[in-house]
Amino acid sequence: MRLFMTTSLVASLAMAGGAMADGHLPLKELPDIAERDYWVPNEVNAEGKLEALQAVVGADAVPFTGSIDNPVQIALIYPSADTSDFWARNYLAMTKRLDQLGIAYETTEFASRQIEHSLQSTYASQVEQDADLYDYVIFGPSELAIQADNIDKLAGNDGFATYVWAFHTPLKDLANQPDVWFDFSSAAGALTMCDYMLGRLGNDVTMAMNRGIPGITDNQRSGDFKACVEEKGNWTTVYEHYGEYQTEGGFEGTSLIMQAYPEATIIHNANTAMAMGSVEAQVAMGKEKELFSTGWGGTGLELEAIRRGELDATPMRMGDDVGAATAEAIKADLESRADELPLVFLGRITVAHDEMSADELNALEQEAFRFSGVGALSR
């Protein structure tokens, strides 16, 4: 049953989703804009909108003030059949936040694996054809470029609002932009980590890096971090090892660094697996107290390593922010406030580190997974 929406709500949704069609994007241009086939959040978000939604997501829920005749109908098309618990956690976060907001809902899930691109396309076509059944469609693309046409098709259907999960780079050539993109930004995390490291360790530091795989994610996590500390703190990078995001890569890279580049006092790791391998290598040589090591993401493994005194700091994602923000976006739509939403929402990233007390680390972990729960999800 379709939710009854007022004329003003329909108009606000059209305004939010029609920015690209009306030629309003980008709102501003960064220097390398011509080199990309996508926009970055700072180019498409109106000033203050992202920060406002982040503040709402981090605060206690304020119940929905309106009324609806029937539960909102939400379709979720995402690769939730894969190993990653990203999708399940965001689903839990969204639904629990909707419960807190007092918004009745019903969900229909279209699950696939990350590699099942054709199946996901079939689901997208089915949902688009059945537009009268849904009020909101959440699309978690198996891969952004492969699913671009489906994003465009869903966003162009005015029968529902379209939200995209797990990407924050709106493609320039879409005729129809989704209403909101929801994700975490590796670039934002890199700058947050840069500020923390400069504040704690100061200038003129010598660093080595365990990088991931050449590409946009490592360019941001490692490249942006490196550029920031070198420019702002006059740091020197003596070696960069590509460990392919694997534990073995972190171990091998760190072993080489300790032997060949003893002047390096900092080891930057671009993900959890490499951080764990790096820690293992340091412990094996009894040097975990001599080197300052970082991770990425603030996973349970990283937090445990910090508690043991083996890892020093990590940019930690508030993992449930994406799902909670989606619930808040639905509330904003229902309250005719869609124009207050950013085009791109980024979950909060803070730094967890070894100078925090056990209570502080526990509190940070509880905040990150306040809806989906601390610890592994049962399957």
**Cα(269)–Cα(287) distance, integer angstroms:** 16
**pTM confidence score:** 0.82
Q: Which residues lie below 8 Å from residue 357, measured CB to CB, with a gap of 6+? A: none
pLDDT tier at 24, thresholds 50, 70, 90: confident
How does the average pLDDT of the chain come out, rounded? 91
pLDDT of residue 302: 92
What is the DSSP-derived secondary structure letter of residue 219? I
Average pLDDT over residues 184-190: 93
Residue 158 makes CB contacts below 8 A (sequence gap 6+) with: 10, 13, 14, 17
What φ, ψ does residue 288 adopt, rounded to 5°?
-65, -20
**Domain boundaries of the chain, sorted by first residue:** 7-184+319-347, 187-316+351-368
Question: CB-based contacts of 378: which residues, under 8 Å, 6+ apart?
Answer: none
Q: What is the pLDDT of residue 165?
A: 96
* Interval 31-72: pLDDT, tens: 989 999 999 999 999 999 999 999 999 999 999 999 999 999
What integer pLDDT is reported at residue 142 of this predicted model?
87
Per CATH, domain 187-316+351-368 is 2.40.50.100 = no
Give CATH superfamily name and number for 7-184+319-347.
Response regulator (3.40.50.2300)
Q: Output the pLDDT for position 19.
A: 41
170 has a pLDDT exceeding 70: yes
Q: What is the dihedral of CA 260, 262, 263, 267, to 10 degrees?
A: 90
